[in-house]
Structures are given as structure tokens and as C-alpha cells.
Amino acid sequence: MTIRTNTKLAGPDDAVVDPGQLRKATLASSVGSALEYYDFYIYGLASALIFGPLFFKPLGDTGALIASFATYGVGFAARPFGGIIFGYIGDRFGRKMVLLLTIGMMGLASFAIGLLPTFEQAGMLGAVLLVTLRIVQGLGAGAEQAGATTLISEVAPRRRRGFFASLPFVGIQLGTLLGAGTFALIALADKAVLESWLWRVPFLASVILIVVAVFIRLKLKETPVFQELEKHKNVVKNPVGELWKHSKKNVLVGIGLRMGENGNSSIYSALLIAFLSAKEGIFPGDKFIGPVGLLIAAGFAAVMVITFGALSDRFGRVPVYRYGALFQALIALPAFYLVTLGNPTLVWVVMVVGIALGVQSMLGPQCPLLPELFGARYRFTGVAMSREISAVIAGGLVPLIGASLLAATGFSWLVLAVYSLVLALISFAATFFTPETAGRDLLAMEDAR
């Protein structure tokens, strides 16, 4: 295997894939994804349902909800900085090291949130510590998914890269199932018990995933691509500088592609939950319907993300992504109108269709596409920056801006519908600037064009 400086496809690399390494990489990436999205969903759900009265009580119901979502957004604001820091480490010193560091940071921060004092116990100190730990979570998350995506793409067989690169993202659905399932169960408890101590349990339980993930990742080998870079002394000393010098277009393409997927994920998993359960919402005070809907949707999504990843191997990354974004745009208005009818079953159907079909039809091909967009020397940084800049713009700001718009419009369902539509159309447009990357040689130094 030699380093190539053109985009000519590699030889029959399916024959030289190490099955043991592929299994370990898939498992290590999946467990990490599970922890990240377990943290993501329990924090999102807690922001929508719990954190407002616990940490921001003096602000009133609406003000506390907006402040709660602001802390949610702070974690996303930290993610690009994590992407820069750990992208540098990943491209300079290897993918494995980053995956160990990020899992530790995210997990320990989540565990510590479960120990925080509330406003009743320590005034605003609890809110300050909550924001601090959310920043730590964001720094770790800023490279976790980029690392998982890069790792599995560089290990997987070329012709089935879409299928294998999407497998770790089943961990996302596992994390969602764990997070949403936990909240669905604790929401059945008495409100006083829930707000006194029971809300802490999901955060403290993350320590189990930390131990499992670290144990698995310690057994990982470095990817063949990075080993080749080291062997031929092609490891870049300044990956961020090289990225901005050669890859501005592809970073912008990656950001555009992520808007519809990541933004709609936040709409369905956080903003919609608040819309349902708020005092002015469809089911005032209900803390059960939203998490149950997420639980059901995650089960379907675990299957669909792999399905769409495999479809991108057969039909190409761009066509699958384009039609997925178009589908998400087309369902936006009717889906959120159906939510307003006040039928829990319809709410769950909307969440399943939006998350399992709309979001996953973009996430499936995205898993291999982002690593394939960038050259070998700064791939980790390229994937991290594409993912995390878009995470701030789409995922992080969606709940904050959305909650403010809901408050300003008397909780109009059109806020969710138009927001979802616009984000999906941005991704749809971005596909027309995206090169087809299926089957690309990941040892190539230059970007896909």
C-alpha cells in the first residue's frame, strides 16, 4: 500500500481489510457515539423539561426555558474549538489518541452534571457550573463524531464504506434509546421526586458507558491511512492551516450538507419536546409523550441509518442525500400541522417519519461522504470543522432561537415547520455543489473535486 497523490481509485482493498480491526473500530466508534448521543439527548431533554425550574427559577417559566436552551447552545458553541484542538491532535498524532481523550472528557462532564447543586441549594452557582461542564462536553463532542467517522472510513472496505461507516451511528440511536427511555421512565415519577434527585440518575449512569468505551478503545490499532502517512513522513504539521489553504470550498459544502440533518435532529429531539410540554404547548406539563416518541423513532432510525448508508454505496452519496433533504423539506409543513391536532399517536408518527426517514436519509450517506471529501493529511480536521461549525449554526442555535420565536409567536407551530423547511432546503441546495465521492481512495492527498 503506497501513498497516492491523485484521485485514482485504490486497488482491490476489500481483500486486504483486517476483519479484526474492522470489528474493533466499529465497536469502539459505536460505543463512543452511544455515549455522545446519550449525553446529547439527556441534556436536550433535561433542557426542555427539567433544567429551567431547577437552575433558572427566578426568570419565570418562559425565561427559564430560554436560559436552559442557552446552556444547551453553549455546548455547541464550544464544539468548533474542540474540533480545532482535537482535529490537530488526530491529524498530527493519530486517530486513536483523540478517541480516548474525547470519550473521557464527555463522560466525566456528564457524570459531574449529576452532582450539581440546584438554584434552591446554591443560587446561581449551579447554573455557572452547569455552563462550565456543558463547555467541557462540547469540547469533547467537537471531535468524537469526527473521530468515529474518520476511523471507520479509513478501516472499512472501499466498496462497502457507506454501510460500514454508518454502523457506528447505530450507536447514536442506542444513545437516543437509552437517553429517551430513561427520561420516559423517570417522567412517570412524582414531580417532587423528579426535581429533587431522580433527574440526576441519567447523568450519573453515564459512567458505565465511559468505562466500557475506554476499555474497548485501548485495544484499537491506528488506522492504515495514518500508518501510511507516518511511514512516508507525510504527517502534516499544521492541519488547520493546510485545511484553510486547500479546502475552504469542501468545508463550506460539508457545513451546508449538515444544516438539514443536524438542524432537524435538534428540532425533533429538543424544540418539539418543549413545544409539546410547555405551558402554552399541545400537552401542557406532559413529560412523557415527547421522550416516548424519541424512543420509538430511535428504534426505527437504528435500522434506517444503515439502510441509507448502504444505498449510498449502490446509488452514490449525492443522490441519496439530495432526495433525503428534499423529503425532509416536503414533510415540514404537514408534519408539524399534524402535531397540533393533539393526538399522541400522530405525534409519534411524525417523530418517526422526521427522524427515521428524514434525518437518517441524510445522515446515512453523510457518514462516508464527509471523510471522502478531504485529503488524507488533514481529513480529521476537515471532518471536525465541517461537522462542528454546522453544529453551532444548526444544532446549537435551533433550540435557543426556536424557543425565542415560539415565545414571540404565542407558540405557533409554523415556527417549527418553517425552520425545518429552510434547513432542509439549505442541504438540498448544497448537494448541487457536492462532488460524488463513493469509492474514493482515502490515501489520496488532495480533496475530492
In SS3 terms, 82-101 reads as HHHHHHHHHHHHCHHHHHHH
Per residue of the chain (449 residues), what is the pLDDT tens digit? 334 444 333 433 544 567 777 888 888 778 777 777 787 677 777 877 778 888 888 888 778 888 887 887 787 788 888 888 888 898 988 888 888 888 888 888 889 988 999 888 888 898 889 888 988 888 887 777 788 888 889 988 999 999 999 988 887 778 777 877 777 777 777 777 777 788 888 888 888 877 887 888 887 788 888 888 888 888 888 888 889 888 999 999 999 999 999 999 989 988 898 888 877 778 887 777 888 888 899 889 989 999 999 999 999 999 999 999 999 999 999 999 999 998 999 999 999 999 999 999 999 999 999 999 999 999 999 999 998 888 888 877 777 788 888 888 888 999 999 999 999 999 999 999 999 999 999 988 899 98
Q: Which helix (H) or strand (E) holds 384?
A: helix 379-390
pLDDT at 69: 78
Residue 85 belongs to a domain: yes
Neighbours of 148 (CB within 10 A): 30
N- to C-terminal Cα separation, the chain: 23
Residue 445 belongs to a domain: no
pLDDT at 252: 96
pLDDT at 416: 92
Residue 76 belongs to a domain: yes
CB 53 within 8 A of CB 206: no
The total number of structural domains in the chain stands at 1
Instruction: Burial-class residue 144 by CB neighbours within 10 Å (0-12, 13-18, 19+).
Output: buried
Residue 35 belongs to a domain: yes
Q: In whole angstroms, give the CA distance from residue 296 to residue 321.
A: 23
E-assigned strands of 224-382? none
| Alpha-carbon torsion, ordered 325, 326, 332, 334, to 10 deg | -150
Domain range holding 158? 18-433
Q: Which of 424, 431, 271, 292 is nearest to 359 (CA)?
A: 424
Residue 3 belongs to a domain: no
Q: In whole angstroms, give the CA distance from residue 90 to residue 101.
A: 11
* Residue 165 grid cell: 461507516
Tally of CA atoms within 13 A in the half-sphere of 393 that contains its CB: 18
pLDDT at 6: 40
Residue 442 belongs to a domain: no
CB 176 within 8 A of CB 37: yes
Say how far residue 136 (Cα) sits from the centre of its chain.
16
Q: Is 440 helix (H, G, I), strand (E, B) or coil?
A: coil
User: Could you write out the DSSP letters of every residue in 161-206?
Assistant: HHHHHHGGGHHHHHHHHHHHHHHHHHTTS-HHHIIIIITHHHHHTH
* Residue 370 grid cell: 464527509
User: Could you write out the DSSP letters of every residue in 37-48?
Assistant: HHHHHHHHHHHH
Question: What are the backbone dihedrals phi and psi of residue 444, each rounded to the nearest 5 degrees, phi first?
Answer: -65, 140
Q: In whole angstroms, give the CA distance from residue 201 to residue 341.
A: 34
E-assigned strands of 333-408? none
Number of residues that this document lists for the chain: 449
User: Could you write out the DSSP letters of every residue in 126-143?
Assistant: HHHHHHHHHHHHHHHHHH
* Residues paired with 4 in a beta bridge: 444
CATH code, 345: 1.20.1250.20
Q: In whole angstroms, give the CA distance from residue 95 to residue 87.
A: 9
Residue 446 belongs to a domain: no
Neighbours of 295 (CB within 10 A): 22
Residue 293 belongs to a domain: yes
